Amino acid sequence: MHVTFTDQELAFRDEVRAFFRDKLPDDIRKKQQHGVPLDREDYIRFQKVLHERGWAGINWPVEYGGTGWTSVQQYIFATEQAEANAPDVIAFGLKMVGPVIYTFGNEEQKRRFLPDILASNVWWCQGYSEPGAGSDLAALKTRADLAGDHYVVNGTKSWTTLGQHADWIFCLVRTNTDVARRQEGISFLLIDMSTPGITVKPIITIEGEHEVNDVYFDNVKVPVENLVGEEGKGWTYGKVLLQHERTNIAGVARSKYRLRKLRAQAARRVRGEPPLATDRNFLRKLAAVEVELKALEYTDLRTLAAVASGKAPGPESSILKLRGTELQQAIDELYVEAAAYYALPYVPDQYVLGFPEAERVGEGAETKTSLRYFNFRKASIYAGSNEIQKNIIAKHVLGL
């Protein structure tokens, strides 16, 4: 057991640091710095930069074009990525459907889909939740009825993140209703979003942005070759994917970066006033979150090490989702506290590049703090609500 990096690891860190310094497009870095939302092309541009370097498939096996990195390398990469103000990759392709296809797909599917996922030529979104199936995902009703060489899909998927940008959607659909357990009639289907019969409608979230959607399927014809693995086994595949999603969700590196930035902000004087960093109440809360985050950082590292040694992330990954999102939300609250009255202005227009600094509302403060706080209440709800994570730990880890 030792905590310091080896010379090799240090060299790797320098390599990653140099990569982000030299290759991350400056406008994307600036947008990230100023809280300007990235558009579709920004993400694609960034992910293509990663791909050119061979770093798009962080957790993919080498045989499918992945990095084959150790857990420590993955950790170093995530840290440098956050420190460089680089965005996260959109998870749906690279971190979700990709692993499902290389694990459970057939050779034809691997050949057909994986290269475009790695190269970010195709934008994927996720069709899991439905209006009547949230925490109880197995209650999903979207049907796929076999009709010769294709399925006919009917139903509604909800909360589909960035579905407005997507070329393809991976869906959990019901292919059989005559089963003993509801989970057994579910299949994993890949659907081209340009197929006739698909409608995407925006859902505006609490802070006023268009991030999620309802996706309606009305007699959508999907070729049978788009079924991943076996019919009726979709639940198993989907669960593996969710566990991957949950390990990605802890966001430790990003949270560390945000805490450090908050400390720096709290140390600034506004118009000669003593900085917030002289307020012991605030400092104690900040310190408490830092301790919790350190603990999560090492829980994350332990999980990554287990995965790198060949194990799939188990139900323990629920801890990462649970604590990771709780800490993200705790940091959001500290930002709101730090802003005092400047948590109130709602001026999304000023979050564009080139907005004149003199006209910005919120001198010395981060006025987007409360918007982020509101938006991130979703974190304890999505990807299996935190209540569901506790159920998973209770049932599958503690055997209760």
Partner 1 sequence: MDLSLNEVQLMLQDSVEKFIANDYDFETRQSYAASKAGYSAEVWQQFAELGWTAVPFSEDDGGFDGGPVEVMVLMQQFGRGLVVEPYLANVILAGGVLQRVASDTQKRDWLLPIIAGELQAALAFVEPQSRYDIANVVTSAKKDGDGWLLTGTKGVVLNGGNAGLLIVPARTSGAQSDSDGISLFAVTTDTAGLSRKSYPTVDGHQAAEVKLDNVRVDASALLGDVDRGYETLDAVIDEATLAISAEAVGIMRILTDKTVEYTKNRVQFGVPISSFQALQHRMVDMFTACEQSQSLLMWATMVNAERTDEAKRAVSAIKYQIGTTGKKVGQEAVQLHGGMGVSWELDIAHYFKRLTAIGQLFGNADWHLDKLGV
Query: For binding to partner 1 (CB under 8 A), which residues are involved?
Result: 129, 132-136, 139, 158-159, 203-208, 212, 270-273, 276, 279, 281-282, 333, 336-337, 339-347, 359, 361, 363-364, 370-371, 373-375, 377-378, 380-382, 385-387, 390
91, 59 contact by CB (below 8 A)? no
CB of 61 to partner 1, least distance (A): 34
Rounded Cα distance between 138 and 183, Å, is: 6
Q: Among residues 239, 158, 162, 154, which one has the least CA distance to residue 191?
A: 154
CB nearer partner 1, residue 171 or residue 212: 212
Q: Is the Cβ of residue 2 or residue 271 nearer to partner 1 in the bound state?
A: 271
Question: CA nearest 128: which of 171, 190, 99, 91?
Answer: 171
Tally of CB atoms within 10 A around 321: 28
Give the nearer residue to partner 1 in terms of CB position, either 85 or 205: 205
Residue 87 per-residue DSSP state: P
CA distance linking residue 331 with residue 217, whole number of Å:
39
Closest CB 123 distance from partner 1, rounded Å: 22
Of residues 94 and 215, the one with the C-beta less far from partner 1: 215
Q: How far is the CB of 199 from partner 1 (least distance, A)?
A: 18
The vertex-96 CA angle with 95 and 99, nearest 5°, equals 80
Query: In angstroms, what is the minimal distance from the CB of 374 to partner 1?
Result: 6
User: Cβ of residue 77: shortest distance to partner 1, in angstroms?
Assistant: 30
Q: Are 236 and 277 in contact (CB under 8 A)?
A: no
Give the nearer residue to partner 1 in terms of CB position, either 52 or 363: 363
Maximum pairwise Cα distance, the chain: 75
Separation CA 29–CA 21 (nearest Å):
10
User: Least Å distance between CB 114 and partner 1?
Assistant: 31
Shortest gap between Cβ of 172 and partner 1 (angstroms)? 16
CB 186 → partner 1: shortest distance, Å? 16
Long-range contacts of 290-296 (CB under 8 A, 24+ apart): 290/259, 292/323, 292/327, 292/330, 293/252, 293/255, 293/256, 293/259, 293/327, 295/323, 296/250, 296/252, 296/320, 296/323, 296/324, 296/327
By beta-carbon proximity to partner 1, the closer residue of 179 and 312 is: 179
Q: Which is nearer to partner 1, 30 or 269 (CB)?
A: 269
Contact 172, 187 (CB under 8 A): yes
Q: Which is nearer to partner 1, 14 or 387 (CB)?
A: 387
Query: Considering the complex, what minimum distance in angstroms separates the CB of residue 233 from partner 1?
Result: 22
Beta-strand pair 227-228/168-174:
unpaired
Q: Which is nearer to partner 1, 319 or 383 (CB)?
A: 383
